[in-house]
A and B are shown apart, each in its own frame.
Chain A
């Protein structure tokens, strides 16, 4: 079956350093969404990528969708304490069956 691998599981950074999380799929997929979940909170939608090779930016966040639509990344420049949380990718497959495949999440931890 289709699988999504998200790495790393955790990333510890000093405030001001960059952060990146990667998602890879075993098959080509329709589109991808990214969500952020703060500690004790619920997932909140960040963005959706649909087109091959698409790049979108939201202030310090840059989202990319691979050319083959099998991988995606989220990069945060100059992390701030408000960025703390777990970032999940969600691959959506809309061919014969509607499937949602979540990555395991990457937890961003700011070192004190």
Chain B
């Protein structure tokens, strides 16, 4: 079945130790998103790729970086995790961004990041 896969499902890192989260999709969608979601809050968009075009949200800290080496894979790099970065990280895809057309987002199961 076509899907969005995130690895690992749980990640523990130490304060300041770089960590990479991965996302892959078999949907062949053009757009991939990274969200941070903390308990009882809405997903917060960090950035998204439209094909290879990277779009950063204005309030995303420089500590968060992303790579999309090909259509199927996207990575979230947290260069120096702080205690405040502990959260669920959700990857999502959509076929496109056009109005009224194929911009439904499909979410992966998420990676829960713990920072010690």
Q: B83 CB to closest chain A CB, in angstroms?
A: 23
| Other 14 A-B pairs with CB < 8 A, given A42-B107, A42-B109 | A30-B99, A31-B100, A41-B109, A43-B90, A45-B106, A50-B100, A88-B43, A92-B103, A94-B97, A94-B98, A98-B97, A102-B42, A105-B40, A105-B41
Q: B31 CB to closest chain A CB, in angstroms?
A: 10
Query: What 8 pairs between A and B have smallest CB-CB spacing?
Result: A42-B107, A102-B42, A50-B100, A45-B104, A94-B99, A43-B107, A105-B42, A104-B42
- On A, residues with C-beta under 8 Å from B are 30-31, 33, 35, 41-45, 48, 50, 88, 90, 92, 94, 98, 100, 102-105, 107
| B residues less than 8 Å from A90 (CB atoms) | 105
> How many pairs, one residue from A and one from B, have CB atoms within 8 Å of each other in the complex?
50
- On B, residues with C-beta under 8 Å from A are 40-45, 50, 55, 90, 92, 97-100, 103-110
| B residues less than 8 Å from A42 (CB atoms) | 90, 107-110
Is A104 a contact of B99 with CB atoms below 8 Å? no
Main secondary structure, interface of A, reads: strand
Main secondary structure, interface of B, reads: loop
| B residues less than 8 Å from A31 (CB atoms) | 99-100
Nearest A residue to B90 by beta-carbon distance?
A42
